[in-house]
Structure formats: structure tokens, C-alpha cells
Structure 1
């Protein structure tokens, strides 16, 4: 069956839902398609449920840090994984049906199935053919394929959050934010946790000086982080999983053996576009993602893309929302809006949290004024029982503009928003001195970070 639409949306994650909300009341005929549960990664199998786990983990960790300092417990607390997963499900169960019901309520036709392009304006979904005047691609991302023997024994973070009971030994492959965050969670269950990173650095998207401090905090928590350890295979025997790792010695490569009860893929995500048959729609890709311009338009002038499947912008929920909104405005109003990525913050929800916005440079950089503060003995750190905390602010003295800010420590994910707002609004570093914050809070520390 062929149906004609003014707009077809492929994907119901943050970008797709934002786009849908902006165009729904335009009077145009709209269809939306998804091959999985309606709602996308973030609210169902990504950042939202993960943050439920992270929040409880921080409560456990905080209580243990403050033992004998006002907290009276007989032994260190451990995270109860089974009840935590049950609690997590209260946030995810029913979300998909509510999302689809909301879309239908806005007058949007919903389809289920994996879509692919038949030609430049026609999408095939199962037995249906949808012809669209405009199409918005928001198919998101998926875990990267490692292409190693035994990959079938490796689970994703999505599967991890569905596991009813965690085993004693867990290895995470890759040193990105997924591995780091879930390693901190798993460690608080009492599990033995190891991260194997194939290259020299973990969290390469974050400031290296701050990451070095986070590494120290992670190791102090009992997390083993081993770099230059590319996993080349995974095997299974009666005692669990065997990982073979190729390590570079001074003379020649050597193979090391690691054992685990569970192996989790944390080696990054890639755009979920490989079977869309984009070539049929003359849509250009680079580096495994869809090429878009500043209007979020693809090489096909009637097709737009946004979110994690697009080459532009960081893979963050706020970026997906921004791109979905920009694309919707441009479909309705003829390319009048541009995506502005100034001052978009990000965070890795470890313990402590590391939050960043803008550029990163070394502490001794001479191009900018770099203000590094060891905040381990500051009041807001000590009252939390934290051992590791710091900040780095990068200022262009020629125009008094903040070029970057990085915070490690309690409430860093909230405090970074002040720096992000200053950057996005084009304010000066000195303008922060004019702000009045509630005291004593991490935000009230911000003037002293400058």
C-alpha cells in the first residue's frame, strides 16, 4: 500500500519527537516510523534509566564516605542491584505506549518496522510504501561492532540494565563514558571491575588533566583501568569468559589472558543507518554518518537529518533536540534557522562527576589564560567526603571570553550550566563576578574558580 505524506519522520528518539512536536500543528499530513519501541534510546535504554542507577549509586557512595562523620552504619553499604533494576523499570515501563499515544493524539500516523529508501522520496516499511514531500531522518546510534571472535558473548549497556543479578567479575571493553559510568555503578555492588582500553587514553572527548584526576578517583574506588589493551577475542568455558588481549611489550606483541563472568561493550556507538539504503535517496555519508549542512539538510534537498545519525554535533540528548527543532523550522519556513552549538555542556556521571563545556587545553597552555584549581580541600568538597575535585577555566584574555570550563567534583553536572550559559549568551568572564548564588553551594564556588 502506498500512502502520501507531507512529512515522514524516521525515528522516535529525542530528535524525532522534537521535530514531530514542532510540525504536528501545521496542518500537514505526517507519518512517523520506528523499528523499535517508540521513544528512542535516552528515555528507555539510555541516559534516563542509567541516571536512575547513577543516582542510587551516589547515595550508597556518599553514605560510605561519611561513615563515622555523622552516618552510623555497621558496615559499608552495597548497592542492591535486583531492587534497583525493579525501580529503574518504573521509569521505562509504559513509556513507549504513552509516546505513541501522544503522537497519535497529535494527528500523526504511526508505523512500526525497519524503513529503507526505495527512491529519493519513497520509504518502504514492511508492506507499506510512504511517499513524502519532506523526510526527517532521526534513526539514532547503536553500539559499535567490534568484529572480533566471540563477540556474541559480549553484552551492551542496554542488556546490562536488564540483567537481574550482577556477577562477581565484570570487564568493560573501551574507555568511553558508557564504560566509565557503568564501571562506577557496578563497583558499588561489590563486583570486581576492570576497564580495558585499546589506546593510551580514556574519555578522549574530555579534558586530559581532569581525566587524569578522575582516573585516580576511579582507581581509589577499586576500579582497574588498563590502557593499551586491545581485546582480540572472547571465549567461553565452564568457568566463565576468557578474553585475549594483545599487549605491546618492548620487543614484540604478547597475548594476555583475562577472565570475567560478564563482558560489556563500552567501545562507542555509531550511526544506525547501514540498512536505510541511503544511496537510493542520493544522501551523502561520511565517517559512517549522514552529512548535513547548518540547516540540518542532507545532500537531498528535501531530506533532513538530526540526532546521533547526523555527522554534525556531539552525540548528546540536548543536541538531538536542538537539531530536531532547527530541522522542523526549516521544513516549515524554508531554511531560516541554523544549528548553533555554542556552549553545549556534557558530563560523565562517574563518582565524582566530570562536566565540561567548550575547548580543552593543557594547564600550561600559553595561548589562553588557564586557571586550574585543586578543589579537594574546598568546603563544598569536604562536606561530601570527597577526595578528588578540581576545576579548569580557559579564558581568552583579548576579549574576556570563556573558551572552556571543566569541573570535577560534587554537583559538577549542575555547576557547568553556569559556564555554558555565559558562553552561549556571549557574556564575558568578568560578568560571572556580578552573579549572586545561593550559599554554600557548588555554584557559589564558581567566582573562585576564575
Structure 2
């Protein structure tokens, strides 16, 4: 039997959930399907559980920074207890999200989905469904790695669910996942190494501040090996030998655990796009600026699965899902506005950016760049922090084009610059903001 739906959403992460609710509340018949628990990567296997674990690392780090400055006694992480703290948030999420979808009138399905025609989909254990519209919002997965022993790596999901933290950990890759998890593991007492094949880490962030982060990471006990070409992983039963080359020489890193931190790709390979005439571009679903498949007009895509200009970030997935839903409901061609979307690497302290990098801004014309090392400022001094800085980029007319920050609470301060860029504010206007004192935000006026 084939049921006909106005919309079927594939993927119960943030993009899919928002789109499904919006269309159902507008009176459409809507179903959502996922083979994994509802909630998506951010809530269950990424952003949120990571930051729950990070809370323990922050407490340890704060005590260590103030050791000898009025704080005494050892503070350490009890990993199993910290994991239970994380689970107090993640465990209720799937039931809560599914309940909210059901209350909104959305049919909730579980199983692996695949297209069988331009307007039909099959779901394991649920049969076949015809649809007027479909939204692909399946998110991303770890990038496949092809070298001997690659199957011995665990991914970010496995790391977040570790019952115990091994003593020696090697992270493969120099991106978000490796640095964020390395900072947690190091504060929890692990011996941590990051192996990255590139010469520049975290390429989407300001290189001057990345250098500051690398120095701070090493100070925290993290070994960072750049231009390391991985050859193979040997060993078994939790004892690994990671073989790599650097500068033409062979090296071995001993590890109890090896973690995949070498990037993610859209999770779309099992959907059988050929049957539906859906095109792929740059590894994701090819879409128009308004998130519609140009080769199958019934189909839209949002979030990490879409080959859109948006960054692979949760806020982007949320507004892309809402805009895709609106375009389907109203038969419109509204393109998302990606201006002013901030990004953060949640190391300790944090690295944040919004807007253009300095190199990107200079390619567009004359700019005014203010780079300030804020390591000795009061905001850092009171915390015992040794590394912090900011770079603000403005155009000819003083309009803020980019903001880059490294230091305590940079993830919060960057939101002020996000709003400034979104509204087209100038340096003068931002500097005129009266801020509560003494707060970190009160430093902003002195960063230009």
C-alpha cells in the first residue's frame, strides 16, 4: 500500500525537525523518518554532549590556572560521572523531540529510507510512500579514510560515549573535532597527540589567532604534529601503533585509542538518488539558491546534506530547514541569508569568528585591520589566562566586515559582532555601545 504525503522529511536533526513542524502546522500531511534516534548530531552526538563534557574540563582548567593565586587542592575529572552528567541531557532528547513532532501532527517513522522513484520512497519496515515534496536533511558523517588499519579508528560519537577515558589518545586530523576533544581529554588527564597532514590547522579561522591557540594547546600538554602523512595503524585490543611520515622520516605514535577527526561529509550515500533523478554536487545534494533540487523539483535539501553556501553549523541547518519549508508551502524562491553567521571552536579558551577573514577582506579592497593581543588585559588576568587576542576588520566606510577572537568567553562576545555585521554597523557605532563593567564585553571598545 502506498500512502501519499504532502511532505516526507528524511533526517530528524535540527533542519528536518523545524521543516516538518512548520509544514504540519500549515495543514500539510507530513512524515519524518530517521534510522537513528531523533535529535540529530548536534543534540545527541555533537555540539551539546561535547559541551556537557567540556564543563568538567573547564572546571579543572580554571582551578589549574588559579593554582597559587588563591585556589588550592587538586581538582580532577571523574570520567564515568561526567559521562552520566552528559547523559542526563542526551538521554531524554529523542523521546522529547518525537513527542513534540507527534503533537504537531507529524507522522514519526523509524528505518532506513531510499528513493525508488521521482516521487516515491521506501522505508525499511514501513513500506512505500508517495510524496508531493521531500526534504533531505540527513546531516553529515565522518569522512571515509583509506589506509591500512583505518577500521581501528573510533568516531566522534564513540568518543562521546566512552565509559572510561584511555591514557594515550591520538586524534587524526586538525579540525574542530580533534581540537575540541583533545582539550577535553587533556584536562581529564590523558596524554594527547594531534596528527594533521596539513601545515595550517583550522583553516577557516584567522591564522594569527590559530597560532595563539596552538601555543595554548601545547601549554595544556597537547602534542601537535603538523605535515604528518599517516601510513597505517597497527595493533589490536586497545594498543595501537600509528605510523606516519614527517619530513621524509618515519615515526610511530603509541596510543590506546585513535580518534577520527579528519572531517565530515554529507550522509547521503544510501538514499539511491539515481532512482529519483537527484544530482550531487561537491558531495552533497545539488540545490538552487532557494534549496531546491534543479533536477527533481519535488525535492529540497537543507543542512549538512545540501551543497549550499552555508557552513556546516546547527544555526544554518535550522534556518535552511525553515526557509526550505516556507518555499515549499508558498511556492517561493527565497534564498537563505548567510551574512553574520558565527563559528566557534570550543577549545579552552575558545576560538571564534564571524564575517570575512583578513585575506578575504583585502581581496575586496581597502580595509582597516586591528589586531590586539589581549593576554595581559584585566579580563584574562583575573582568570589566570595566558593567551587571548582579537582581530577586527573594517571596510573603507568603517563598516565591520569580520571579527575574530580567541580567549575566555569569545563564543559569547562574537555574537555581538554577528549582530553588528548582520545590521551593517560601523566601528564607531559598536564602540559607542555602553557595556556593563567589568565584563569581557566591556573590552570590545578597546579592540579597534
> Which string of whole-angstrom CA distances, capped at 9 and with x for unpartnered residues, describes residues 8-45 of structure 1?
11111010011122112111111111011111111111
Ranges in structure 2 where 5+ consecutive residues have no aligned partner: none
CA drift at 1:78:
2.3
Aligned equivalents of 1:290, 1:384: Cα separation in 2: 46
The answer on whether the counterparts of 1:123 and 1:131 sit within 8 Å (CA) in structure 2 is yes
Aligned equivalents of 2:110, 2:135: Cα separation in 1: 16
Aligned equivalents of 2:376, 2:359: Cα separation in 1: 22
The answer on whether the counterparts of 1:209 and 1:362 sit within 8 Å (CA) in structure 2 is no
Distance 1:239 1:48, change over 3 A: closer
CA drift at 1:291:
1.6
For 1:286, which of 273, 281, 287 is the aligned residue? 281
Distance 1:344 1:238, change over 3 A: closer
Aligned equivalents of 1:16, 1:238: Cα separation in 2: 39
The answer on whether the counterparts of 1:209 and 1:363 sit within 8 Å (CA) in structure 2 is no
Q: Indicate the SS of the match to 1:51.
A: helix
- How many residues are matched? 443
> Which string of whole-angstrom CA distances, capped at 9 and with x for unpartnered residues, describes residues 72-91 of structure 1?
22x4x222211100110000
Aligned equivalents of 1:144, 1:242: Cα separation in 2: 21
Q: Indicate the SS of the match to 1:24.
A: helix
CA drift at 1:425:
1.4
Aligned equivalents of 1:302, 1:119: Cα separation in 2: 11
Partner of 1:331: 328
Distance 1:357 1:33, change over 3 A: same
Partner of 2:179: 180
Partner of 1:275: 270
Distance 1:362 1:331, change over 3 A: closer
CA drift at 1:56:
2.0
The answer on whether the counterparts of 1:376 and 1:387 sit within 8 Å (CA) in structure 2 is yes
Matches within 5 A, 1:49-88: 49-73=49-73, 75=74, 77-88=75-86
The answer on whether the counterparts of 1:30 and 1:109 sit within 8 Å (CA) in structure 2 is yes
Aligned equivalents of 1:333, 1:203: Cα separation in 2: 39
Does 2:370 correspond to 1:358? Answer: no
Aligned equivalents of 1:362, 1:214: Cα separation in 2: 19
Matches within 5 A, 1:205-244: 205-237=204-236, 240-244=239-243
Give the TM-score of the pair, scaled to structure 2.
0.96
Aligned equivalents of 2:279, 2:434: Cα separation in 1: 49
> Which string of whole-angstrom CA distances, capped at 9 and with x for unpartnered residues, describes residues 80-138 of structure 1?
21110011000011211221122111111111111111111111101511111011110
Partner of 1:90: 88
> Which string of whole-angstrom CA distances, capped at 9 and with x for unpartnered residues, describes residues 33-60 of structure 1?
1011111111111100001111221111
The answer on whether the counterparts of 1:363 and 1:370 sit within 8 Å (CA) in structure 2 is no
Distance 1:136 1:380, change over 3 A: same
Partner of 1:154: 153
The answer on whether the counterparts of 1:364 and 1:370 sit within 8 Å (CA) in structure 2 is no
Does 2:335 correspond to 1:348? Answer: no
Q: Indicate the SS of the match to 2:25.
A: coil
Distance 1:223 1:130, change over 3 A: same
Aligned equivalents of 1:294, 1:257: Cα separation in 2: 47
Does 2:288 correspond to 1:308? Answer: no
What is the RMSD of the two structures over their aligned residues, measured on CA atoms? 1.6
Distance 1:280 1:368, change over 3 A: same
CA drift at 1:203:
0.8
Aligned equivalents of 1:2, 1:237: Cα separation in 2: 48
Partner of 1:380: 379
The answer on whether the counterparts of 1:363 and 1:372 sit within 8 Å (CA) in structure 2 is no
The answer on whether the counterparts of 2:304 and 2:317 sit within 8 Å (CA) in structure 1 is yes
Dislocated runs of 4+, deviation >3 Å: 362-367
Give the TM-score of the pair, scaled to structure 1.
0.96
CA drift at 1:237:
4.5
Partner of 1:260: 255
The answer on whether the counterparts of 2:361 and 2:367 sit within 8 Å (CA) in structure 1 is no
CA drift at 1:363:
12
Aligned equivalents of 2:68, 2:102: Cα separation in 1: 55
